Chains A and B, each alone.
Chain A
Amino acid sequence: MDRVLEDFITTLRRSGVRISVSESLDAARALQLVSYDDRSLLKDSLYVALAKSVQEKEIFSDCFDRFFSFDFFSEPPPNEGSHKGSTEGLSDLSRMLMTGDQPGLVTYMKEAARAENLSDIRYQTQKSLYAMRILERMGLSGLDADIRDLYQAGAPSSAATAARLEEARSYLVENVRSYVEEQLLLFSGYEYDKMIEDYLRNIKLSNLEQRYYHQMQGIIQRMVKRLNDLYSRKRKPARRGHLDFKQTIRDNVAYQGFLFNPRWKKVKIEKPNVVAICDISRSVSRLVRFFLLFLYGLNKEIIQVRSFIFCSNLAEVTGIFEQYPIEEAVARIQAGTDIPVLLARTDYDRTLRDFKERYLDAVTHKTTVLFLGDARNNYNNPQTQILKLLSERCKKLIWLNPETKPFWGTGDSEMLRYAPYCHVLKECNTLNHLERVVQSLLKR
């Protein structure tokens, strides 16, 4: 496969178009049929062979236009044609500049760029380095030598030529720079987005800056969509049953054994039934925010959630999620509007007692109870026996603690006392942690 196509495909891949090997082979075969001569035909052909969805097609058009742009050196070099100096004894580059050989210069520049692996460029800071290297390879030093020699020659005509060359030199540098800039945009745009995303997925949520919230929500939406796709598909075949022979015979005894009313086997789909109890004191509130975005983003078809929040006391917030769209609901919970929760010191004693008195029937042997909190109880009674009761009653009790392990049990943290009653106890403070937890809920 030729180098240009290869580079182009690399560019597309970097910009987020997924291209498999077989597709690039198709593109190469298509190229043999249409060749590079007709630009729009080339675009049409690669368009159908490489880009396979509407979004990809948009990216493709953009990349194609930039990649195959030839409008560098399009403005003629300064002073062109004003007087024809002799080009004898000059280097190739100088001669091209003197004669204004645009296609030659473009090809020359592209070859140099390829030899210097310009497609590896990633960061703003590398710009001058690459520009310099490309210029060097194009023969900048030869050009400089020409200028110097001409000045030293001393004749008036050669001085004029030297002055012209000097202007042409800055013209050359400018063009190469803008070319490098263009390529940087082309090669690094998507990469940068990906880097940010990786960073956001792994950053501790408590350290997250406000300005990333919006991006964060985008990432969560994508993660949630993936989980939804993955788990709703799995459930589908369960709905198609085979004939349940036993049941059919039993049901049709009444009709003298004629099989009148066939019965089908059904695989009963058990939705994970989750009770989430979240601490919204300041130390944990961010984690809760993103966790709830996650949990309520999931389809109602694949998960059933009741949620409670607490600080100094406990309140149920399931209703808020039914009334408002997710993002608004989360914002309301964070602000504490219309919710009977006291935002004073965290009190696990009162919280657990509240839960036992009012909501214990929400927990059955099918329920997974999720506790989100740092277990910092301000030296109140830890009420471990209530947690023990919950743990015995439910299917699984999962505790997610945003603090790192060494801090558990220090100061007023009751984590180590609660630990024996948790089926799963995990440190949880990044998006990736959250995703893993939610996935384990769905997988079972």
Chain B
Amino acid sequence: MKQKKDEKFTSIRHIQEGFKKVGYITSRQTATTVYLAHHLEKPILVEGPAGVGKTELAKTIAAYLDLPMIRLQCYEGLDESKALYEWKYGKQLLYTQLLRDKLDSLVDREDSFSQSINKLHAYDDIFFSWHFLEPRPLLKALQEKDGTVLLIDEVDKADDEFEAFLLEVLSDFQVSIPEIGTVHAVTKPLVVLTSNNTRELSEALKRRCLHLFIPFPEPALEREIIRVRVPEIPSNLAAQLVSFIQAVRKMDIKKVPSISETIDWARVLLILHADSLSPDLVRDTLHIFIKYEEDIRVVEDQLHQLTANAARAF
């Protein structure tokens, strides 16, 4: 298995092509980062505007390596019991009830108190063992035999405390469970963290990761993405729509359209059997990639100009 994995990471070009096969077009920068992440056994911290395919990157790596992906969605208030492990309290309680009857037979009535305690000590600490442990995403990722891709999504949404807690997992691929001890990774997972920059992440976390910033793609790259994701679309329409979107991104609006929205728009245009952009068509489908009333007004004002410019793109 390890060998097979190494084979997929022989060169950067190899990775880029492999990603393309599973439908993810990537810049060389991204491919290089994945290549280094595998060889240096480091987590990748991905930052960038919303909708440039940060989460998609993790999914793609998983698909490319043919490994399961384990996802941990972060939010404010996320804590160990939801991220790492929890004791199965219900099961523990149930077993205590069942075992109470058993207790009489274990301990003789004639025994003194210290004798009964000693007898009980001879048994393991069964209630705090693996049988009663409910693994959560992080622990699961460490236990996976063939390795896995662990996605820690939107880590900036979690609290500082949780970030600090992640450090142990990220640098040594191990976690400490007080009742059991330290659990090491069976096979080191490939970790991808994503952040939307709602707050500055701590230095300590950044230090442990390779830092990848994915910006909005260049026109050529975006055309390529459209071509792969929506293969039926005529190439001149794809060029027009990409140039339109790129122009909109430069405008002063509240929320700029993301790549996923470009893809959505391409699909819609395909369903409408459009073969080129016209102002009316754009006006009718504008809401697919622009999500605010004010933004729509801003774009509509310059609609004719924008479509005319886009029509020139090939």
User: Interface residues, chain A, CB within 8 Å of chain B?
Assistant: 18, 20, 22-23, 26, 29-30, 33-34, 40-41, 44-45, 47-49, 51-54, 57, 233
B28:A44 contact, CB within 8 angstroms: yes
Which of B160, B207, B208, B212 is within 8 Å of A48, CB to CB? B212
A49:B39 contact, CB within 8 angstroms: no
**Given pairs A52-B206, A54-B47, 13 additional interface contacts (CB within 8 A):** A29-B39, A29-B40, A30-B40, A33-B36, A33-B40, A41-B32, A44-B33, A45-B36, A48-B212, A49-B210, A53-B211, A57-B213, A233-B160
CB nearest neighbor in B for A54:
B213
Given A30-B40, A33-B36, A41-B12, A48–B210 Cβ distance below 8 Å? yes
Task: State the CA gap A53–B47 with chains docked (Å).
Answer: 9
Interface centre among A26, A44, A47 (most CB of B within 10 A): A44
Q: Does B59 sit within 8 A of A, measured CB to CB? A: no
Task: State the CA gap A53–B212 with chains docked (Å).
Answer: 9
- Residues of A close to B44: CB separation below 8 A: 48
Task: State the CA gap A20–B33 with chains docked (Å).
Answer: 19
Which of B32, B45, B160, B207 is within 8 Å of A45, CB to CB? B32
B40:A23 contact, CB within 8 angstroms: no
CB nearest neighbor in A for B160:
A233
7 A-B pairs closest in CB distance: A52-B206, A44-B32, A52-B211, A48-B210, A48-B33, A44-B29, A20-B207
User: Interface residues, chain B, CB within 8 Å of chain A?
Assistant: 12, 28-29, 32-33, 35-36, 39-40, 42, 44-45, 47, 160, 200, 203, 206-213
Task: State the CA gap A48–B203 with chains docked (Å).
Answer: 15
Task: State the CA gap A353–B78 with chains docked (Å).
Answer: 56
B211:A26 contact, CB within 8 angstroms: no
- Residues of A close to B45: CB separation below 8 A: 52
B32:A51 contact, CB within 8 angstroms: no
CB nearest neighbor in B for A233:
B160
Give the shortest distance, in Å, between B266 (CB) and chain A (any CB): 29
- Residues of A close to B29: CB separation below 8 A: 44, 47-48
Given A41-B12, A48-B33, A48-B212, A18–B42 Cβ distance below 8 Å? no
Given A26-B42, A54-B213, A57-B213, A49–B207 Cβ distance below 8 Å? no
Task: State the CA gap A45–B47 with chains docked (Å).
Answer: 16
- Residues of B close to A40: CB separation below 8 A: 28
- Residues of A close to B32: CB separation below 8 A: 34, 41, 44-45, 48
B206:A48 contact, CB within 8 angstroms: no
Give the shortest distance, in Å, between A30 (CB) and chain B (any CB): 5
A33:B39 contact, CB within 8 angstroms: yes
Task: State the CA gap A30–B40 with chains docked (Å).
Answer: 7
Give the shortest distance, in Å, between B11 (CB) and chain A (any CB): 10
- Residues of B close to A20: CB separation below 8 A: 207
Give the shortest distance, in Å, between A123 (CB) and chain B (any CB): 31
Task: State the CA gap A52–B201 with chains docked (Å).
Answer: 10
B36:A49 contact, CB within 8 angstroms: yes
CB nearest neighbor in A for B159:
A236
B40:A51 contact, CB within 8 angstroms: no
Pairs A–B under 8 Å by Cβ, sample size 10 = A23-B207, A29-B39, A30-B40, A33-B40, A45-B32, A47-B29, A48-B36, A51-B211, A52-B207, A54-B47
Give the shortest distance, in Å, between A186 (CB) and chain B (any CB): 22
Task: State the CA gap A36–B212 with chains docked (Å).
Answer: 21
- Residues of A close to B12: CB separation below 8 A: 41
CB nearest neighbor in A for B215:
A54
Task: State the CA gap A26–B37 with chains docked (Å).
Answer: 10
Give the shortest distance, in Å, between B178 (CB) and chain A (any CB): 21
CB nearest neighbor in B for A56:
B211
Give the shortest distance, in Å, between A5 (CB) and chain B (any CB): 15
Task: State the CA gap A26–B29 with chains docked (Å).
Answer: 17
- Residues of B close to A233: CB separation below 8 A: 160
Interface centre among A18, A44, A48 (most CB of B within 10 A): A48
- Residues of A close to B206: CB separation below 8 A: 52-53
B36:A30 contact, CB within 8 angstroms: yes
Give the shortest distance, in Å, between B170 (CB) and chain A (any CB): 12
